[in-house]
A = this chain, B = another copy of it.
Amino acid sequence: MKEKKLDWFFKPRSIAVVGASEAPGKLSAIIMDSLLTSGFKGRVYPVNPKHKSVMSLECYPAIEDIEGGVDLAVFAVPAPLTPGLIKRAGGKLKGGIIVSGGFAEGGSEAGRALQEELKEIVKDGGPRLIGPNCMGVYDSISKVDTFFISKERIKRPKKGSISILTQSGSFALTAMDELASEGIGVARLVSYGNKVDVNESDCLDFLAKDPATKAVLLYIEAIDEGRRFVESAAACAAKKPVMAVKMGRRAEGASAALSHTGAMAGRYEVYRAAFKKANVIELEGYEEFIDGCRAFTMQDMAEGPRVLIITDGGGIGVAIADACTNSGLAVAGLTEEKKQALKAGFPPYFTIENPMDLTGSVTDELFAAALEKSMEGSGFDIAIVAPLWGPPNITDRLPELLAEKAKKIGKPVLVCTPGGNYTRRKKKLFEKRGLPVFSTPESCVRAASVLSGKKAAGR
């Protein structure tokens, strides 16, 4: 029942911050502040033999001095002190997050020895550990937040339905900040760094059963237990979409990954085979990761790779079609029957093909009607609607009308609306109504490709 213990990381009743301090800018001060101000409902215990109180809370000399112990402790103290503190806490600690660096990632003999010491503690029945050299956990539901960068610099995402697992702390920060600023929510986010104990497989086991998580995205540099990963990922993927980006793919990238989390980034081909076996959708990089987050926040998997494109600007339709073809998505034509039916209902200057060009004379109502009628039946799996806001009869009603039709259709509908300030302001209208909106043809197509499980490309 090892996996069950992960509950302590996401739903702790109490958290000790070891190395607690009030000094502005200190890691522990940022973590304390987050836990005290962001809505975490459990108890918070500052731990530091140097202080009597921290942020108006009684400060304990050590974890073992806290009556009844704690579910979770965050260690923000120098690496050499950490193993001893965990040992001394003994049975009074259920889970630990070690945010400090100074372990195997630096490549020094001393760092490696300290990491080995942590491993021994876990083996000997000690608490489960996340890290070291990591950001830890951000949980939008329980409000556990051990990310030691101030909210001013790195925004926290709102409550959402996707969960993210990442080895790289800087990637975790960047992605969470980007998602938060884009209004995309997250359920749980784990940065596990050097993975002395808890790794991606443990987290996948937890997330597979987590009702708050509807889709999982992984940022992977290296996996240690390959067979277990395939099992855990496949079990999770059987319940909800699992996506992964493998970083440090090529020789150059691999050496960088080695130095910064102390793990060996193995051969890329092995990872691809593992992803395939486990039904994990492979993502290409940062952009596809963010686009995938946006897509799965508002839409479900598509049944296939057949895309219909509707636009009021011919050139953008062509650009989307090209990007689809490059990504292995199918941009098949309309059946003769459907063409005739559509032509009967629309002005003669509409181009009734795929892409469908409704021209600058389009109205909100005609745009919505074109979406509904062309997606009727079984010809297409995904619709990409690309309204440019130049045409004078496109108004703020459009997002509402398109969202209504999207609901009726019951298949993923993505919006692609590139442009400047005016267009960017309108994007919010779509997202408010649950339609994911993208700023370039390529980003929208990346999302479509991910939603289709990249089926068409044979990947």
A146-183: contact bitstring with B at CB < 8 Å (1 yes, 0 no)?
00011011110000000000111111111001111110
The answer on a CB contact under 8 Å between A285 and B442 is yes
As for how many copies of this chain the complex holds, the number is 2
The answer on a CB contact under 8 Å between B153 and A313 is no
Q: Are A173 and B390 also in contact (CB < 8 A) when A155-B422, A317-B256 are? A: yes
The answer on a CB contact under 8 Å between A170 and B322 is no
Q: Is A346 an interface residue (CB 8 A)?
A: no
How distant is A101 from chain B, measured CB to nearest CB, in Å?
8
Interface size class of A (residues with CB under 8 A): 35 or more
Q: Is A411 an interface residue (CB 8 A)?
A: no
Q: Is A248 an interface residue (CB 8 A)?
A: yes
Q: Is A421 an interface residue (CB 8 A)?
A: yes
Stretch of A32-40, A59-67, A349-357 that contacts chain B: A349-357
B residues within 8 A CB of A5? none
In the A-B complex, the 3 residue pairs with the smallest Cβ-Cβ separation, listed nearest first, are: A168-B315, A170-B313, A260-B314
Apart from A170-B311, A171-B316, A286-B441, 16 more pairs, CB < 8 Å: A152-B422, A154-B420, A168-B314, A168-B315, A170-B313, A173-B390, A174-B313, A181-B420, A249-B322, A252-B333, A253-B331, A256-B357, A257-B314, A285-B442, A286-B418, A287-B441
Chain A interface (Cβ within 8 Å of chain B)? Answer: 25, 101, 106, 149-150, 152-155, 166-174, 177-182, 219, 221, 247-250, 252-253, 255-257, 259-261, 284-287, 290, 311-319, 321-326, 331-333, 349, 351, 353-355, 357, 359-360, 388-390, 392, 418-424, 440-443
